Amino acid sequence: MVRFVPFVLAALAGLLQALSLAWPGNGQPQWWLQLLTLAGFVALLQRAGGWRRGAALGWTFATAWLGATFWWLFISMHVYGGLASPLAAAAVLLLAAFLALYYALAAGLWRAAAGRPWRDGVLFALLWLGAELLRNTLFTGFPWGAGGYAHVDGPLAPLAPWIGVYGIGAVAAWLAWLLAALAGRRAQGRGRYWIALAATAGLLAACNVHTAKAPAAASAGPRLQVALLQGNIPQDEKFEGGTGVPVALEWYGQRLRDTGTQLVVAPETAIPLLPAQLPEGYLEGLRDAFAQGPRAALVGIPLGSFDEGYTNSVIGFRPGAGGAVYRYHKHHLVPFGEFIPPLFKWFTRMMNIPLGDFNRGDVGQPSFEWAGQRLAPNICYEDLFGEELGARFADPATAPTIFVNVSNIAWFGDSVAIDQHLQISRMRALEFGRPMIRATNTGATVIIDRFGRVTHALPRHTRGVLLGEVEGGTAFTPYSRWVSRVGLAPLWGLALAAALVAGWAGRRRPQP
């Protein structure tokens, strides 16, 4: 039984790691808990007997962490998709277990190479970074719940405009190793460890001071008056012709026509029908409502047809466009929800998910220009992929001044997914120095300023219109400059170098 105690502790640490991303009840990230739980895992890893046991501990920790982070996928598959509850629970567990293999690889490599204290900390941070990048990239990527998101309000937040969420995650991993090392008996009598701790505390304190002063920065430019629509259409009625569809068409249509702000934004698939399925003249009426005057709109709608294929899109109406309609098509699609991976049609046939196989848009599509702003739409979880949003900053003359996220998180009920997604959007605002306005079906419909602060918010799971002003950003952060040119290649290079060093050191060191 004693042999299994470390695995139980690793699973417990993983569960607490998930809670650090958005604490149940208030939805706030807990940066200190993320550091402590990862440090607890590192302490267990330091005591593992060899690379195989280290890899098993890493897999256990990550499976618990990821499963507890996106457990709400069960709601979409079972409650709204109609999949039997045992199969839905198994699907979530299998997804978490599969993604946890990346962290098992990182932990096994580190355990095989560990032995030199100063090198060990850097190796652990960079190998953990590599695991996060693998999860972000392979098999279309599902980086939801990356450890760096716990630090959107913490002392590491000022690093976001420099190294992004994955860089923050690597720094947090190094700090976790340092905490674990300081807790060891051999470290307590060594002055260099305490010097490292004092230097780290000084760095965190300096970051805190920077965070406190940041909002006093100079004005970024003109303000835009916005109205963000939240229809609160129940997911089990949203695509039903006798209930949700007519309510959505009437409510969103009326608010789009009557709201008097400079910009009106309706959420993902606010109009839940393809254009050919809409009542005659519906879209034309919306276009005519914005053909003149000082108003414009961005509206979520599926475009295309069942014969030629369809896209999850945003259309834009504005005066002076000569009848032309702006279009943005979602690029990063959700597996199983928006496209069917090869060999998995049998799985999706077991669920009732309408419009479940979309075509993909391009990376770096043009922004919607209006009232002196360049508005860059992104749909649902596309804002997880900062490197893809960063592609729009390659040309300073066309770089966005405001991000616009339209989402429908009703698929996941009244769960912590809403809070987790809010922290993700806030991190993008910090990375790029750009505000993020979010129009959603059930929440969180908010305005986030360029410092990552929520300035306006609607109560969740209510029907209403959020009115406010947003100030566009014009300055370029270091992160926006390098990620627009080379993507995440510098971080990949560091992670790969660490893997090579760990592999070389592991081969030279006899393993138990």
Element (H, E) at 14: helix 5-21
Of 297, 306, 320, 298, nearest in space to 276 by CA: 306
Spatial distance between the Cα atoms of 375 and 367, rounded to a whole number of angstroms: 5
Q: Number of helices (H) and strands (E) in the chain: give both, helices first.
A: 16, 12
Active-site annotation holds for 268: yes
- Among 338, 380, 382, 388, the one annotated catalytic: 380
CA–chain centroid gap for 310, Å, is: 24
Is the separation of the CB atoms in 61 and 51 below 8 Å? no
Distances (CA, A) of 382 to 51, 193, 333, 437: 36, 41, 8, 14
Distances (CA, A) of 285 to 208, 253, 272, 290, 342: 51, 9, 17, 9, 40
Where do the H-state alpha helices sit in 190-308? 191-213, 244-258, 282-289
Spatial distance between the Cα atoms of 31 and 29, rounded to a whole number of angstroms: 6
Spatial distance between the Cα atoms of 495 and 148, rounded to a whole number of angstroms: 16
Is the separation of the CB atoms in 270 and 229 below 8 Å? yes
Active-site annotation holds for 338: no
- C-alpha triplet 13, 165, 118: angle, nearest 5°: 65
Cis-peptide into 444, omega within 30 deg: yes
**SS3 label, residue 82:** coil
Region at 457 (left for phi over 0; alpha for psi -120 to 50; beta for the rest): beta
- Among 268, 382, 388, 431, the one annotated catalytic: 268
Spatial distance between the Cα atoms of 458 and 464, rounded to a whole number of angstroms: 7
Of 419, 431, 421, 357, nearest in space to 393 by CA: 431
Is the separation of the CB atoms in 471 and 221 below 8 Å? yes
Active-site annotation holds for 207: no
Where do the H-state alpha helices sit in 333-412? 345-348, 386-390
Which residues participate in catalysis according to the annotation? 268, 330, 380
